[in-house]
Chains A and B, each alone.
Chain A
């Protein structure tokens, strides 16, 4: 672990695969656009210019303007930033919740039954339906979108973690640690957790993608991020109303979503082949 060459070995192995490399480049591109949004955006995404409304792409508005004359390029660029923030925080949220519940359930048998029945109950809701219902109670805001999508993915992560913990807790090294009198918390944190992370990390890329799609869908439906905030889903929602006059409102944010999700899928597939070869083709957690 201390040797940095071996720490980054997995990354080198990953990038050696052409597909994963393309994915990584696409994801990196999105991250860079998100970080440097103010420099790349050129226009204030909120700036209204009614005289220039629904202008087709031109040298000053690269992707045209929307129905109140806001610059689409800038809204797509800031939308990238929002998508990256939402994707990243939803992954973090679902990892923290899912790992805690998964460890507890897998390790403490009496808790397992109750916890897993609750997780099953949450998974009985199709993800987007649960997210819509949560948004109805929480009200539209970026934070609430993150909380709603986070709640959707916690049980999915918890299931994966629990599955691994059930196997790991029977291994001789865990038995040895317990026999030596190592406290449960340390056994869980130092011996169990690190060994059940690979499938979770693989799912992380797919949850990242699913969260971005989820935010876009919620905002498109008008129950996600408030409409004035630039988000891919919000631009698409406006685009739907002007599909005939202004197809650029649909085509450009659409291309941005596809590029981003394709990148994450390629990267995730590569990561999975590397870390978790048994799981080829399976990605149920993020798709449900």
Chain B
């Protein structure tokens, strides 16, 4: 029967990656001084499963590597090998190595086995007694490794099968075997039945058996569960001795067995007529009185029937396999959704249908909609609104994944980097089950990595310095995730040295980001952290880069309509607080009108709105206007001009200024009117029209018109020239 094993590959990959994650987590949690045996067991099991699966599904590269790994783990498990920090490091590298092998195989590429070979040789060296194993255990391990796949199992033969073949008598043609087989009294008790073995032997060639029932006791003494018969067997076959031994493989130690090759000119005649006279009737009616029991040769008919008895079940099994396969395959574009979420959706759709039919009934009843009916209609419309909102929420929830999907790789990262830096750091994760939109999650990963690297590199001090400062030697980074309103807050706190505001300022001055005489508030100084091209560390390290980080971090977060803020205290530590919308598909928007057009500002981007006082507007060279807002000048942006609207705002005095903030830069946008705030479903402009600078998307309003959603980051890019002009004004004023 041929079965296409590739149908199980997706499941294999999925469970292997899960296994690797588990290995990694257990390795990280493992206490070297006092290893928990259950943890070691689960690491071993994971490696073992990957090895078993990869072997079965034909991924030899993985099998070969995991084999060495497993051997080592098995020794650890049996207490024959101590596990130390180096060993854990090596095992973690192996996890990475297996992962990359599997990833390559999954995408049907040829895996790079160089790393695997290197690691395997290190393992082998440990196994061969390179470092710390004691000699007694090494002998044992070598014995295990040296053991071949089919161990010489036939005890009573006491002969090396290969030596049999090489013996000088072998010059004569070997035509079969003489076998003596005497099961132990208790052989039946582990489910082995001699009749099956005889049947198997029969399948190897032509066989003649002689049963010896001399040891059969009298009936009174016979124990029905015991076995008393032994056989002398003459088997004519071209098979190897290995094949014959395999038949008795499972009863090693439970029988007396000898297998001797039979040669051409030996006593048994090949053409002995008795051999050809074997037939079924002889087998089915063995004479109990006689001492000869003859077995038929060849496969048994009943087994063939068994094989042909194919039911429709395989189709079902195939369908199940396909179902399981689906979510794994398209990793980038699919999500696994809990059944409860789907159920709640179905439930809501059901309610929606009911409401719809109630409304439908009203519409088609022919009654005029007046008085009492209007009340009913409103009631049902309210219900419809209710249903719609709940449905919307539920659909959004489908895209939600626990943030642990991203955060699970951080413990490993923190460990590796802290080792690299010679620091001691522990990472605490809190609220890792908080759910976040999948897209947001994917995009927040890089900024988070950056923040954590920064905290490790610049935040947490070296152990000696920590001790000198009276802090615990091991630094702590806490990642705390929680919901607040319609937002997810990710807080990263370290108990390191804090951020030196004065150094930031000094640096910014040398870089010309801040004027020599310019005074900044404490808050503003810290804000410098997010300015482009600023790094407080003199030395460029390969951990946190060259100061191109924080501005990028902030920009990435802003692209998600989120914000990031820092707070710090010298010597105590720093906290970065990231605020993200739950989803990218919906945002809280402020509706405004400009020249009779409706635009939407993401509420997050608006810092304030004010009535324009024309006296505070100044015109600078180049035609741009700036507005004097408290201590600083901010550029005034005219959407009517920018977007070439046919109607222009005439008198600024009657207008409002919406101040938006992006990348620490304020811009004033002139609008006619502020309308309501509402939740906006974002439609992509790029997909439906073309990409427009300064606009992040569009939405459809209640009256059916399309409104553009303003992109604060894009606007500030558009207003680059005006921003520069405003800056000059501010500097000049200061």
Q: Tell me, yes or no, whether A binds B.
A: no
Q: Which residues of A contact B (CB under 8 A)?
A: none
Q: Which residues of B contact A (CB under 8 A)?
A: none
